[in-house]
Every structure is written in structure tokens, then in C-alpha cells.
Amino acid sequence: MVEEMNFLVSWNVISVPPTYNSMIILFEIFVLAKTLMKKGNKLTGKVPRDLCRSEINSDFFWGIPEDEGRDYCDSIACPVNTAAFEGVFPCKPCTDKYFNPYLGRYGDCIDLNQGDILRKFYEATSISGAWKGDVNWADESIHECRYTGVICDNSGHVISINLQGRGLTGTIPEEIGFLQYLQVLNLADNQLEGFVPSDLRWAPLQELDISGNKLRGIIPPGLCLKPNVNGNGDRGDYNCARFACPIRTYSSTGWYDGDTSICKPCHGNMPYLGQKVCASSMARGTVKGPTLSKSLVPIFVGVTAFVVVMVSIGLASLVHKIRTRRREAELVGMSPNKIGVSSLPGSETVDLNSRYRIDNDDE
């Protein structure tokens, strides 16, 4: 749920009524600032200086002398490489080994320590428990270069992470994109959910595999424009499918390799990115496959016929008994019930004997 925006426009400082054009500009500033101040945005660049006006959010600077160098852009969004509790003034610069490439960063700057990043990654991807196999990521006494699936260069920089089929659950955290030397990231065939973080564009990736998970949405446009990842940008071809096949499509690898592995349409229920098998064809193979169908049909027909025959026999027998009892009841009801014996089924014998004795006495 998107947090409410606290952007305020103070009209009290405007000494004359604004013109129609000024009102339009102020409204556009309001809309832009509302967008900038939504938590979770990943906007880069700078706030246009023309938008940084003293009449916008002037209350942010109450009690601060004007000669202290107010930057009215900070009241719209904190600049790159700074952060703030609410993403706006007062903005705090990032310290050494921390960084922030975005406008209006909430909270703290991003920690660039690779050990801290990997620990956050493990925490975010082990929601349902520890990963499969012999994994040592939870052991804080081990250096990150010795973590399962991790490769470092001679300088101790993490350059490759391969965790394919390790049973990862949870989401891909944004911090993984800030490994400054990461070239290979393989997270295929796990149970990762959520969305693909656009922060992956900051890592110097050459290979990325996120196929076979439960990731939704789209590949972030900024990532689609990143060259040299899985051949992206070759001969000027920038294609989001180089990272993962879109939803409702699939390929043998889960992404488009520019040659044999092409993302093909699938008309089944395919809400995830990077799928390797069409769900509808899997369903047909499981439920309606030739082997399964041929083996079950004779059994199904035989059982059905047996049930139908037994039910028919039972119904016929029941109808016969009902008709017999009705005929006997009709015979009993032909003369008065002189001795008060019930004419319900089961009492006919008593009633008939009584009638026989009365007839004999008359003779």
C-alpha cells in the first residue's frame, strides 16, 4: 500500500492571486512532487531547478534562516547520494561505503559492503527456511567468498553467485544489484516471488538467469536497456526477453537467447516470468495423456456398467416389493376392519385369520 503523501502547498505566501498559467504550473509541480515522494520510487537524475520554488513547501524551512542557503529542491525530493527519514528535507549525505543513486531515498543510504549485502540476500530468500543442500550462508564465521555457490576474484570481490535449484523462497532484495563486481547471477529454478528489482542494472552483470521462479510483472525498462547481459544489445537488439520470457510465454531456457531458445506463446495459466514449460501442455499431459487415457478408460467403463446394473436390479426389486404390498393392502381394505386390526403392511395375516373365524361362526 502506497503511503500517503505529505506534500503541502502554502498559498499564504503568495501576495497576489496567481494567474491561470501559474496555477497550472503549480498543479503540475504538486503532481510531480506527489510522485517523487511516494516511497519505493527509483527515480534518478535531478529535480528540475525551475520547480524548486520558495512558495512550494515553504513550511519545511520554518525556523531556518534564509542566509543558511536553503535548497528548495530538497523539499520536493532529496538529491542523489543522500537520504532522509521521509525522502525530503532535511537530507543527509551518504557516508563512505554507502551509496544512493535515487531521488527521494527513504531511510538510510545503501550499504555497499558485500558481506552485508549477501547476508541481507540470504535473509530475504530463506523465508520458508534454510536452502536445500549443504549451505553455509548462515554461518557468520565464514568469509563470504567461501559461501556455497559464490566465486570471488583474486582481490576478494564477489564476481559470481550460482544458487540454481537451492530452494530459495521469498523475494530478490534490491541490495544484490549493488555488488560492484558481480558478473554472473543464477537464481533459476527456485520459489522466488515478487518482482524483478530494477537495481540489478547497477551491477556489471554479463549473465543473469531468473527463470523457473514465480516472479511477476515485467522486466524493468532500465534493465532491458542494459547491454552485454545474456547478449542483450547485440547488433543493436535490446530485448527484455533476454532476461526472462514475458508472462504467458515460455522457452526451453526461460529467456530468449537470440537463436534457438525463443519465447513462444502459451495459452494456459502462465502468470510468471521466465517459464520453461507451457502450463497448459503440462496439464494436458498429466490428465489427458495417451498412456493414462488408454489404461483408465476400460476400467472406468467396466466400473460404470457394474454400478448401473446393480442399481437397476435394486430398483426393480424395490418396485416389485412395493407393488406386492400395495395389492395385499387393497385386499385387506375390501371389507370392514371389524376387530380394529391395522391394515398397514405386516398386519394382513392377523386380519385375514380373524375374518376367516367370523365367517365360520356364521355358518
- According to DSSP, residue 336 is labeled -
What are 258-311's pLDDT values in tens digits? 888 899 999 877 899 999 998 754 444 433 334 444 556 567 667 777 777 677
- What cell numbers appear for 247 in the block? 508472462
The residue with cell 524493468 is 220
pLDDT of residue 322: 67
pLDDT of residue 180: 97
pLDDT of residue 105: 94
pLDDT of residue 179: 98
CATH superfamily of the 112-237 domain: Ribonuclease Inhibitor (3.80.10.10)
What are 98-126's pLDDT values in tens digits? 999 999 999 999 999 999 999 999 999 99
pLDDT of residue 14: 28
Domain coordinates in residue numbering, the chain: 38-110, 112-237
Cα distance from N-terminal residue to C-terminal residue, the chain = 102
pLDDT of residue 52: 85
Task: Give every residue of the chain whose pLDDT is below 70, as ranges.
Answer: 1-40, 65-69, 280-298, 300-301, 309, 315-316, 318-323, 325-363
Q: How many C-beta neighbours within 10 Å does residue 34 have?
A: 14
